[in-house]
Structure 1
Amino acid sequence: MTRSRTRAALTGTVLMLGTCLAAPPALADEADPSAILVTGRGLEDGPATPAYDVTIIDRDAVIASASGRIEDVLSSVAGFQLFRRSDSRAANPSAQGVTLRALGGNASSRALVLLDGVPVANPFFGYIPLSALNPDRLASVRVTRGGGMGAFGTGAVSGTIDLTSAGPDEIGALQASALVDQRGETQLSATTAPRLGDGFLTASVQWDRGKGFWTTPKDQRVPASVRARYESWSGSLRAVAPLNDTVEIQASGLVYDDERTLRFDGADSTSSGQQGSLRLVGRGDWQFDVLGYVQAQDFSNIVISSSRFTKVLDQAKTPTLAVGGKAELRPPVGDAHVLRLGADIRLSQGHLVETPYSAFSGQATAFRRAGGDQSDLGLYAEDDWTLGAFVLTAGLRADRWTIRNGFYRESNPDGAISEDTTFADRSGWNTNVRGGVVWNVTETVSLRAAAYTGMRLPTLNELYRPFVVFPVTTQANAALKPEKLRGYEAGIELHPSDAFTLSLTAFDNRLKDAIANVTIATNLRQRQNVNAIRARGIEASADLSLGQVSLTGSLAWTDAKVEASGIQFALDGMRPSQVPKLAASATLAWAPRSGWRLAATLRHVGMQYEDDLQTDILPAATTLDAYAQIPLAGPFSLVLRGENLTDETVMTRNQSGSIDLGAPRTVWAGLRIGL
């Protein structure tokens, strides 16, 4: 059933792309000097967007990371955090949850990640398919720390990350690169964006492959230990065309596949997906943005015993399907107002199929299936109102959510059912509000303040799927409640000149009923709602541009604590697992002439705890990265990249002394072509 739906999704994507490609020749008139301008983007941001803590990463910085991976780009925003410090070469995909503002503690994303308006998180696990998000395809990244749900959609309890695709202006006829590192690993990418009449087409492919680095420390390696091998590829196709002088149609398709091996030979994981979307954007008097999408994803994983080094679990597949959409209308209510009225919906379903094995006999001991359905329908209204030097914003959102058809079924090898549990359906309404103000005191000083709420449903993974990271077993919990956020913040923006800007934000966020992995016995944890996670802190960012030289920096200091009582009282006052108190990043760049870029990035991540009881420590780490692009002849440039040039030991996992490490010193060299 899932395969047929996947084929249907891909067929629909092809048809949508065909529709867009057919439109431009009929509408185009190359001799017309007043040719229609299409952007390939959504509606413009409202004037009150600066009321929230927003950071924008431009294309020059996006495509100039040391690793060429999107998580490396996002790490320049202090407060951004993956569940573990590992990147998308050396982490289990299901651990790639993204969060902001120290509201972590489990592997599901608490930040909403959008690609051209489409949420990209895996509907079953909540992880982000990072290896599929090629930075070369992007025009910019906007990170909003905090801000609540508003018009973005459900799940934005710690913030929103908007990825915007690039078009012909950024890409040109062709952008391609080929690089190799000292281990013989390769990274290939090519993107083209030809104009077709008044519209354009963007096509892109990427392929990464490598034997990987050792994640296991030398003194803990055994004959079964292997490097973190990886191979991933993705392809995207996007078409944009005008339907008339104010309306454009955008169609996108993305396919990807990722294979990794972690710690032991045979410990293989895969993640794959296909998605298609269709979007209509109207920029007339009555502005509108209508978006529909479909996603099909899968995940598999084999767990190897760390004592006998045999297969103990085969998570054969986790097929998931999500369909959704959004419709927003902005009526003409006067120059002083930007009124947004809209609705969005997301329907998702998924289940796992897995088989545990005996570490001694190698025989299957059971056959398991678990999963369910979720839905969320949101209705929202938001108004930005400009009053002289003040810009006010206020929004209201109501969500109707359901969790249905949950089940856990286990049978013996002979087919006899040993457990067959059907969980009660649940549903509810949740109302969220947000508001803020920007006071442009002078041309160089702006003050802002905001308050907001948000919600995140527990993922199907948290509800129904137990897992093991030896020697610890973590149980699922079908009774988990939605998380609810309440947040406040205030900040100041200083921009005394075009060459310098400084932003400072103080915030207080409280995530009620936060889902955490709670220790309930020796080597046994369960996903539970704790009373809350309270995160209070300061975020700062600065940009200095002195002609050819620029310096950007970001810092986040956060005091995050768990609020717990009753049987969870031992956690009260503890810092959430995997959450640092301090994170900072600074990049110094020099562009002596067109086509040149020399940059160095220094990052620091403070000490973190592996577990909820603060017994296992991940020490602080400071790394140095570098990037150089030097034009050669014609369209060719030499590219040199260096990751962790000081070869800092970055501990990514510490399970009672069983340790994983992050990327060591890695040096890349290759060519880039731009036409």
Structure 2
Amino acid sequence: MSPSVARRRLLLALTTLPLASLAVLPGAARADEAAPGQPELVVLGRGLQAPPASPAYGSTDIAGDRLNQAASGRIEDALASVAGFQQFRRSDSRSSNPSAQGVTLRALGGNATSRTLVLLDGVPMADPFFGYVPLSALSPERLAGARVTRGGGSGAFGAGAVAGTIELASASADQLGRFAGSALVDDRGDTELAGTFAPQLGSGFAVLSGRWDRGPGFWTTPPAQRAAASVRARYESWSAGLRAVAPITSDIELQARVLAFRDNRTLRFAGADTGTAGEDASLRLVGRGAWQFDVLGYVQRRDFTNVVVSAVTFRPTLNQRATPSTGAGGKIELRPPVGGGHLLRLGGDWRVATGETLETGLTPTVTYRRAGGTNGDLGVFAEDDWTLGALILTAGARADRWSIRSGHASIARPDGTFTSNLTFADRSGWLGSLRGGAVAQVSPGLKLRAAGYTGLRLPTLNELYRSFVVAGVTTNRNPLLKAERLAGFEAGLDLAPLPGVSLSVTAFTNRVRDAIANVTSATDPNQRTRANVAAIQARGLEFAAHLERGPVSFDGSLALTDAAMRAPGQALNGKRPAQTPKVAAALTAAFRPATGWTAALTLRHVGAQFEDDLQTDVLPAATTLDAFVQLPLAGPASLVLRGENLTDTRIITRNSGGTVDLGVPRTLWVGLRVGLR
């Protein structure tokens, strides 16, 4: 059976599987019908528990209620409570080009592709062609929480985690309640509607969720730079999901998930329309018996469209009319009962990404462009955690068989004749990764940890085969790009001197060899080429603090990073990677009295960044203040008030020779939330 046929059959099975049958699969007796003496069925709806040595890699957990208190209501702002989290640009998912929504950590950016692996219920969420993350489709109200691991290497997560891993977990029916919904409007007329319906079905449950955002948006163009063609950043997006979880036996459960989304935006000029679309489906089988296992399979279909409008003539110059891509993969992890204080993890994973860009040129000499290919990765891993009293040791190894194949790029004239019709040689090989660490509970309130790791990321199809133009600057493809390889080390301590008080500090050094960057030509500043530079080196300190006293809590995060490009003989050598700040910080103060209402203020600071690799265009530092208030009204209803950028700080998100784009101005939201248990 071909991979394409297998993907179609998996998608068909997932989209036609009746919910009722999931609740009463063979061997899945209802809890209230269990025979006397038989174990009660407990359905969790999540993966296996994190291994005991996971704290060695300095992970940070964000609870679901904190994700839902972001003033913008968007996942990227919720994750930004972990200092060092960033997209390629400072714009959020209402006003940025989706292809710039690459996610990174530890100032290891440099281009718009994600260097951080983002997982939803174990499924990689990056676009198969571009590598960006569809942030508007990841709604906070559907999530139980997030775990952010800065660094950590590939390990059992899979390839792609060169800057870390963000694990998002869907909420269960117990966490969501039978029904929850919200409706909000802001002072510009933008609206946000969201809801979840989570009925219990026998011993299992289902979650039906949806969200719709739309609005006229805000001005991203400063008043002095506006032209007749300038418009607000209009947007409209929706997403809908269906998730079902059912027991197979007392310690095995089946999880199924389907997600569909659309997102359309207009950026800067009338007619500069961009859109994304996708459908994802996955099946997961989790066993929590003596032989624990996690078996996962998924398929994704994505598309991207984009019309480029000239900043000089204000006319369309390129219509990226479609970028169809398909992602598919799976993972199996087995934890045999080896005993002796060991937790052994064995397994493998497989991923494939196929796609191409279909573009119509709007010039007299070019009418059609087509470029794409297929990337694949097959990995096997083994990892062991060994608990020796107050000391936990961990070590793991991974091997990846990667492939880059079927690469092509062509350009045709209006009469149909090709001016360029290229095919690129297939490539493949093996790369290995190692990681290990230790956690020592020195005293009840002091934990020491250290870890070393390696990892890898294949170049995306976009980096390999697609050239593009932004604000008059051409970035050229490079079909010969090599995989990025991470080597890192970190050490830290976690201190809990008093109940409700915790502090942590981590010192790290991470080096990404053969880092892929957009390198400016030595002879033409308007020409850049994707290239492997020798390395990106990042060293720094990360701090986190939590204080809770009765109804008052404070959560703070600070990242101080010294990142530099290592490219001997090139102009960018020693310079900071594009779009990476030295300082990032966040502080949230929350008040939750017994009466059930919540108030939170978040102060966030991002240091100065540079637009490009040569540090010619600066993005000044920005400090913003956000607010969130939820007040109970009558019954299940609550009043919600949100405020973004209350100080109306000028946030420059793009700077090309003084032509700038702006981030969100002061924005005030009001609405209602309803929750029925």
User: Structure 1 residues 179, 630: CA separation in 2 closer, same or farther (over 3 Å shift)?
Assistant: same
Paired position in structure 1 for 2:539: 536
Match of residue 367 from structure 1:
368
Q: Does 1:139 align with 2:144?
A: yes
Q: Distance in 1 between matches of 2:313 and 2:491?
A: 54
Question: Residues of 1 paired with 2:655 and 2:3: CA distance?
Answer: 37
The answer to whether the 8 Å contact 2:198/2:206 transfers is: yes
What is the aligned counterpart of 1:553 among 552, 556, 563?
A: 556
Match of residue 253 from structure 1: 258
* 1:63-142 superposed matches below 5 A: 63-142=68-147
- Measured on the aligned residues, the alpha-carbon RMSD in Å equals 1.6
Alignment equivalent of 2:341, drawn from 324, 332, 336: 336
Q: Which residue of 2 aligns with 1:489?
A: 490
Aligned length: 669
Matches within 5 A, 1:494-643: 494-520=495-521, 521-566=524-569, 569-643=570-644
Give the CA deviation at 1:192.
Answer: 1.6
CA distance in 1, matches of 2:614, 2:98: 25
Contact 1:355–1:364 under 8 Å retained in 2: no
CA contact (8 A) 2:28 2:203 kept: no
Find out whether 1:652 has 2:657 as its counterpart. no
Contact kept? 1:25, 1:196, Cα under 8 Å: no
After superposition, residues 413-424 of structure 1 pair within 5 angstroms as: 413-424=414-425
* Alpha-carbon shift at residue 522 of structure 1 (Å): 2.4
1:352 paired residue number: 357
Please state whether the residue corresponding to 2:15 is helix, strand or coil. helix
Deviations 1:63-121 (A, max 9, x none): 11100000010111001010000000000000000000010010000000000000000
Q: How far did residue 495 of structure 1 move?
A: 1.0
Query: 1:461 & 1:210 partners in 2: Cα distance?
Result: 30
Rounded Cα–Cα distance in structure 1 between residues aligned with 2:6 and 2:358? 18
Q: Partners in 1 of 2:120 and 2:60 — Cα distance?
A: 16
Structure 1 CA distance for aligned equivalents of residues 452 and 74 of structure 2: 33
Shift of 1:498: 2.9
Q: Which residue of 1 aligns with 2:411?
A: 410
When normalised by structure 2's length, the TM-score is 0.97
Find the aligned partners of 1:2 and 1:642 in 2 and give their Cα distance: 47
Letter in 2 for 1:444: G
Matched AA of 1:232: S
**1:289 matches 2:294:** yes
> Shift of the alpha carbon at 1:5?
9.3
**Distance in structure 2 (CA, Å) of the matches to 1:452 and 1:25:** 42
- SS of the residue 1:463 aligns to: helix
Q: Give how far 1:4 is off.
A: 9.6
Structure 1 536/29 Cα, relative in aligned 2: closer, same or farther at 3 Å? closer
Match of 2:219 in 1: 214
Could you give the per-residue CA deviations for residues 446-504 of structure 1, whole angstroms, max 9, x where no partner exists? 00000000000000000000011111110010011100000000000001233011110
1:162 is the counterpart of 2:167: yes
Query: Hey, what's the Cα distance between the residues in 2 that align with 1:454 and 1:124?
Result: 21
SS of structure 2 residue aligned to 1:490: strand
- The equivalent residue for 1:61 is 66
Shift in Å at residue 25 of structure 1? 10
The answer on whether the counterparts of 1:473 and 1:523 sit within 8 Å (CA) in structure 2 is yes
Question: Is residue 309 from structure 1 mapped to residue 314 from structure 2 by the alignment?
Answer: yes
Determine the structure 2 residue equivalent to 1:28: 30
CA contact (8 A) 1:9 1:275 kept: no
- Aligned counterparts of 1:2 and 1:660: Cα–Cα separation in 2: 42
Query: C-alpha distance in 2, partners of 1:154/1:221?
Result: 43
Cα separation, 1, equivalents of 2:26 and 2:638: 33
Pairwise CA distance, 1:273: 0.3
Match of 1:671 in 2: 672
After TM superposition, the structure 1 stretch with the greater mean CA deviation from structure 2, 10-19 or 316-325, is: 10-19
Q: 1:575 to 1:242 in 2, by over 3 A?
A: same
The separation in 2 between residues aligned to 1:433 and 1:308, in whole angstroms, is 53
Distance in 2 of aligned mates of 1:3 and 1:244 = 32
Please, which moves more after superposition, 644-653 or 364-373?
Answer: 364-373
How far apart are the structure 2 equivalents of 1:305 and 1:327? 48
Distance (Å, rounded) in 1 between the aligned partners of 2:424 and 2:334: 38
Whole-angstrom distance in 1 between the partners of 2:668 and 2:371: 43
Counterpart Cα distance in 1 of 2:612 and 2:655 = 9
Measure the CA separation in 1 of the matches of 2:173 and 2:301: 29
C-alpha change, 1:24 and 1:310, in structure 2 (3 Å) is: farther
Q: CA deviation at 1:6?
A: 8.5
- Report if the CA contact (8 A) 2:31-2:41 is conserved: no
CA distance in 2, matches of 1:314, 1:479: 26
Give the structure 1 partner of residue 235 of structure 2: 230
Residue 328 to residue 594, structure 1, CA distance change in 2 (3 Å)? farther
Distance 1:21 1:38 in 2: 11
- Equivalent residue of 1:531, what SS? strand
Distance change >3 Å, CA 274–CA 250, structure 1 → 2: same
Deviation at 1:23, TM superposition (A): 2.5
Q: Contact 2:56/2:439 (CA < 8 Å) preserved in 1?
A: yes
CA gap of 1:414–1:3, structure 2 versus 1, over 3 A, is farther
Cα distance in 1 for residues equivalent to 2:192 and 2:26:
34
Distance of 2:5 and 2:224 partners within structure 1: 48
Q: What SS is found at the alignment partner of 1:642?
A: strand
Could you say what secondary structure the match of 1:216 adopts?
Answer: coil
Q: Is the 8 A contact 1:35 1:198 kept in 2?
A: no
- Confirm or deny: 8 A CA contact 2:275 2:306 kept in the other structure: yes
Instruction: Look up the equivalent residue of 1:565 and give its one-letter code.
Output: P
Asked whether the 8 Å contact 1:353–1:370 carries over to 2, the reply is yes
Cα offset, 1:331, TM superposition = 0.4
C-alpha distance 254-335 of structure 1, shift in aligned 2 (>3 A): farther
- Of 586-595 and 427-436, deviating more is 586-595
Counterpart residue identity of residue 673, structure 1: V
Residues in 1 aligned to 2:53 and 2:26: alpha-carbon distance in whole angstroms: 35
In the TM superposition, residue 180 of structure 1 has moved relative to its aligned partner by: 0.1
Residue type of the partner of 1:549? V
The answer to whether the Cα contact below 8 Å between 1:17 and 1:251 also exists between their aligned partners in 2 is no
- SS of alignment partner, residue 78 of structure 2: helix
Distance 1:594 1:420 in 2: 68
Report the TM-score when normalising by structure 1: 0.97
Do the aligned residues in 2 keep the contact of 1:2 with 1:321 (CA within 8 Å)?
no
- 1:196 offset after TM fit, Å? 1.2
2:28, 2:249 within 8 Å by CA — same for their partners in 1? no
Q: Residue 229 of structure 2 contacts residue 314 of structure 2 at CA under 8 Å; is this kept in 1?
A: yes
Distance 1:65 1:244, change over 3 A: same
Q: State the AA in 2 paired with 1:559.
A: D
- Provide Cα deviations, 1:337-380, integer angstroms capped at 9, x if missing partner: 1000000000110001001113xxxx673201000001000000
- String of CA shifts for 1:363-412, please: whole Å, max 9, x gaps: 67320100000100000000000011110000000000000000001111
Runs of 5+ unmatched residues, structure 1: none
Percent identity of paired positions between Structure 1 and Structure 2? 60
Q: 1:26 to 1:558 in 2, by over 3 A?
A: closer
Aligned to 1:399: 400
Partner SS for 1:365: coil
